[in-house]
Structure 1
């Protein structure tokens, strides 16, 4: 296969791969706070770096945090304006409810608000049957999405998280990966950050008013998600996110008696101890560290910048490697992708940036603008004034 074509193909998927890069170990120097949670995790949403983990790979019941998966599968696979009819099996499902009636019609978007703000189990079943064709069909979609995201220690058997078997489980690390994935979707972000929402209530004189159960939206500065959860077996579970100065972190706490404070402590610690540093600048000129011939006037430049959350003590452990698919770079390759800059933290690759060929163009080689006559200039202005939008 032609190396250049291979590199072009890699460019299409490199952003997705970057999200699946393994989490690097956190330096223990900046000690995290003590938590009530049996299991917990903290993630930087943009980079996907897990900043903290307590029993993060332990399989746990996750209660209604399950609905994060239900929501993102429905958003990606369904149509928000689709009108959905409530099926018989959705009516009277135990636990949290938005009191759907058999045969009632709502849009998928309205059901998603009922799912995430009020944790409606009846909304979960209605969404699942509408999007997946059946509950088993939707559960299959949930597990397929989990595998795609890299949730290696999770299994879903229902769309709501009720304690129906020991086979419905996940981990704090898997769930925080799911939160980060879902929060990159603008529709999901809008829903989970809403404190109140009115949706239709067929047959009634008023709309349903949905108040978000997530108290973190009121308790924590910058909080913008995600989901509460509780069952008798799972105990208190909470998925939280917050954005400060354009940067978003997300937490998961499972079986946490003091979940609100646990989440606030983790978010404070993450914001304070992991500032985002720009490790690579956009259009930064790169000097190859491998044998390559660069024609006079040609350079390698980065296509985009790369930023990553790091503790102060980790900066010196960052190093970079240039990987090229060409041994000779000439002027005819201007603008072409020829390789990548890989960025490492110790032995772990934390990201990669495409490298493009850039050619210096001498001023004397640029085409000279032709002088316009008075009438050419006049008619240009007239045309612009008369016909431009």
Structure 2
């Protein structure tokens, strides 16, 4: 009986998740990033340049909405935008549809024709649009990325890294219109029913997007995001034969190992000496809470930087200093300290009588 109990105990330990253990992935390159802070929670060959296939279209979508924010504008399809190689939303020459419909075709159906139509409409021609894509990559700090087309078809001059694509995903998720589209499972629009290729929207609870890709050279590529308990994570895999499982494993690892943790509460008041005032001290505090993804045992250090003394008048809501927060020697935040709001804190200087007897 004891031997059977011991065996059952061993088997139960084998099937239980081991929190803190890094996942084993099929991907050649991968990264897991916390959206809010940008902290990298896991990486594997994340800065190695590779072909990226249709996850390129995240940049196409981002540049499109920045160049042409009116998504209700009507686009007339040109013949040279149709019949594109690979996946398609099956545009027809002279067909009229909105830019929004094209973005749905781009991000759900991964339409290569939609990419050409968006690029041609938003920038006048494909080449100019690709230049804008590369400008945006440089602005975002995607230093190991270069685009040669708006759809992701293989080209020696078309490449990125898992790390750079995570940076791009953060920028895309900041645009509410793109967040809505990328998280849509299916939609009926422009006379079509479009179904999202991203199966994680059905398979992983809390998945919020984003984009799949595949070519023979790139293999399976995937950028995804997921939300749990107020924390949103971004996962990127390049050349991942089992990408759905890879992303589920990355998310499970990130949420379990690096939960969103309150580091600094709003307020957290400090007293600063005041000269030339009837009050000896004025209070200052942080305006908002600060959260950061922390593993068990990680303890950020906080340094409060304020003047040794201030001179009245002191105005409520004005800067009073800052709190610098570091983790393992690296700065992770600077939080401004503001003088406490309220009439009692709007300190005027002493009058002449108070100064005489003060």
Same fold? TM cut 0.5: yes
- Distance in 2 between the 1:182 and 1:333 partners? 39
Q: Equivalent residue for 1:264?
A: 248
Q: 1:298 to 1:219 in 2, by over 3 A?
A: same
Q: 1:312 to 1:192 in 2, by over 3 A?
A: same
Check conservation: 1:279, 1:307, Cα contact below 8 A. yes
1:62-141 alignment to 2 at 5 Å? 62-78=52-68, 79-141=70-132
- Deviations along 1:242-284, whole A, 9 cap, x unmatched? 1112221110010001111000000000010011111111122
1:150 to 141, 148, 153: 141
Q: Equivalent residue for 2:10?
A: none
1:50 to 40, 45, 51: 40
Q: 1:144 to 1:322 in 2, by over 3 A?
A: farther
Query: 1:360 Cα shift?
Result: 6.5
- Distance in 2 between the 1:91 and 1:240 partners? 28
Query: Paired residues, what number?
Result: 324
2:194 to 206, 210, 220: 210
1:159 to 129, 140, 150: 150
- Distance in 2 between the 1:309 and 1:247 partners? 9
Q: Secondary structure at the match of 1:313?
A: coil
- Distance in 2 between the 1:174 and 1:220 partners? 24
- Deviations along 1:91-146, whole A, 9 cap, x unmatched? 11100000101121111111000000000000001101111221121112111221
- Distance in 2 between the 1:346 and 1:250 partners? 23
Residue 274, structure 1, aligned to residue 258, structure 2: yes
Q: CA RMSD in A?
A: 2.1
Q: Equivalent residue for 2:205?
A: 221
Query: 1:338 Cα shift?
Result: 3.4
Check conservation: 1:125, 1:135, Cα contact below 8 A. yes
In structure 2, list runs of 5 or more residues that go unmatched: 1-18, 348-358
Residue 346, structure 1, aligned to residue 328, structure 2: yes
Residue 33, structure 1, aligned to residue 15, structure 2: no
Q: TM-score, normalised by structure 1?
A: 0.79
Q: 1:323 to 1:297 in 2, by over 3 A?
A: closer
Q: Which moved more, 1:49-58 or 1:341-350?
A: 341-350
Q: TM-score, normalised by structure 2?
A: 0.85
Q: Secondary structure at the match of 2:152?
A: coil
